[in-house]
Amino acid sequence: MSEVLRSDVMIAFAVMTAVTVASRLGGYWLMGYVNVTPRVRRMLDALPGSIIVAAALPVAVNGGPIVMFAIAAAMAVSIIRRNDFMAVITGMSVAALARALGFGG
């Protein structure tokens, strides 16, 4: 039998899926009880950027100069264009191009 199709692996996938779905649905359900004041709205508006920073920071610390340059490019696009998706695409493109040209490891 394949390692991926073992029953314990499939059970782990099913449990992780159930927990993910439950946490997302639970978040929607709980937000039904929250008064969306201007302060809460500002917090919710800042959340996507906070998630990107939390995901990118460990990579930036360990990534070297190419990663730092790609993150700087993404930050510049994010500040100028105010578009998180475009910033992520820019950062990925800069890193891929730099590596394709042979810079860094």
User: In this structure, are 91 and 62 located in the same domain?
Assistant: yes
What CA–CA distance (Å, rounded) separates 66 from 94? 8
- Give the C-alpha distances (Å, rounded to integers) separating 28 from 35, 48, 55: 13, 16, 23
The pTM assigned to this predicted structure is 0.51
| pLDDT for 23 | 93
pLDDT lower than 70: segments of the chain: 1-2, 4, 104-105
The closest of 71, 98, 74, 73 to 85, measured between CA atoms, is 74
| pLDDT for 18 | 96
What's the number of domains the chain is made of? 2
What CA–CA distance (Å, rounded) separates 42 from 45? 5
In a domain, 38, yes or no: no
| pLDDT for 21 | 95
User: In this structure, are 55 and 92 located in the same domain?
Assistant: yes
The closest of 88, 95, 51, 89 to 69, measured between CA atoms, is 95
User: In this structure, are 52 and 19 located in the same domain?
Assistant: no
| pLDDT for 2 | 65
Residue 85's domain comprises: 46-104
| pLDDT for 105 | 56
| pLDDT for 102 | 84
The closest of 42, 21, 52, 34 to 13, measured between CA atoms, is 21
